[in-house]
Chains A and B, each alone.
Chain A
């Protein structure tokens, strides 16, 4: 929801709405107290209805300027538990074979909402760091030089931070398959495509299949 105090003009509009609403409430209360209360309830219900159907304004995709030599490709890889998955490693290898590429891996510190609210983030960050170190080692073992960092618990915020510091030419988002992916359910991949004007590759990693395989 947009803040009614985001600008002076918005605050002024809220003032006019407040005058109208309270004029109605006062007149209704003078007629009968129960009518005043009813007016308050109706106006509150109307405000809630407006709030629920309000959509945030569409923002244009964020432009990311290319950094480095013209033929260099900078790839931002964002992954949760799937960060060491074979499908993701294959995708990164294909990028590496395609030309001179630089990789930056972001592992969001996955945490429950309650633990995030209570600032209990250390275990989540430690686990994310372990996943990141293992992935970077695995990439290094096949000759791919990559850097990385542990990101925010919110994948979109982690990607935004990664974009700001790394300025990629392409973004790779790795998720669990449809139905088991919290990120897909939240529309993270679509949101990344809407937010940035660089190609976004979605890689699906099925860890359960890997674990079931002999």
Chain B
């Protein structure tokens, strides 16, 4: 029986009408990331406002006597960027049916993400200022903390993928559960590059 005949013979509730040509899952992820970009945008606006109104900016940033651990954050950036490469490798591996490489890629990605988060916690403990040390400190912790929260969510998603992966889920035909966390992880990585460049380097 053809699909059209099956529809003609169908007696149940009608198939959901879908006007959009965009796949609903892709559209959902795009809208989610768009809303996330706006959220980060509001934090960046606060950050740049505080920076511009600072009387010593741009000659002196961060304001005296504070200093950013640029080198440590740079190493952390390298770790996070590398984790995107391993994430990409993991997805390409499951697409080719190479399960061991897929699992290795996922575990490496998770480990590097966790290392990034732990390093950020250590950085917070040793940075030498706290949220109560003025607007500068508030926006610094707000912006980097917002990103840290996203890394934590990403790690949760990666953890779920790893558990499912070790239980035999995913195949070259069915790997959407890896693809979506992968998109999210790259988004988190892109946001960190913007945060690191804007806060620590420029």
Contact = CB atoms under 8 A, between A and B. Distances in A.
A80 to B, nearest CB: 18
A8 B19 contact: no
Contacts of A5: 29-30, 33, 183, 186-187
Interface string A5-34: 111110110110011001001100110010
A50 B187 CA distance: 21
B37 to A, nearest CB: 10
Contacts of B179: 7-8
A60 interface: no
A12 B88 CA distance: 7
B190 interface: yes
A18 B183 contact: no
Nearest to B92: A9
Interface size class of A (residues with CB under 8 A): 20 to 34
A170 interface: no
A15 B26 contact: no
Contacts of A30: 201
B7 A6 contact: no
A19 B186 contact: no
Contacts of A59: 21
Given A12-B88, A14-B190, A67-B5, A7 B202 contact: no
Nearest to A68: B8
Interface stretch (A106-114, A156-164, A201-209): A156-164
Contacts, number: 82
A11 B4 contact: no
A176 interface: no
B42 interface: no
A65 B4 contact: yes
A167 B186 contact: no
Nearest to B197: A22
Interface of A: 3, 5-9, 11-12, 14-15, 18-19, 22, 25-26, 29-30, 33, 36, 59, 65-68, 152, 157, 160-161, 164-165, 167
Interface of B: 2-5, 7-8, 14-15, 17-19, 21, 26, 29-30, 33, 58, 81, 84, 87-88, 91, 178-179, 182-183, 186-187, 189-190, 193-194, 197, 201-202
16 contacts: A5-B29, A5-B183, A5-B187, A8-B179, A8-B182, A8-B186, A9-B91, A11-B190, A12-B88, A15-B193, A22-B193, A25-B202, A26-B201, A36-B202, A67-B4, A164-B15
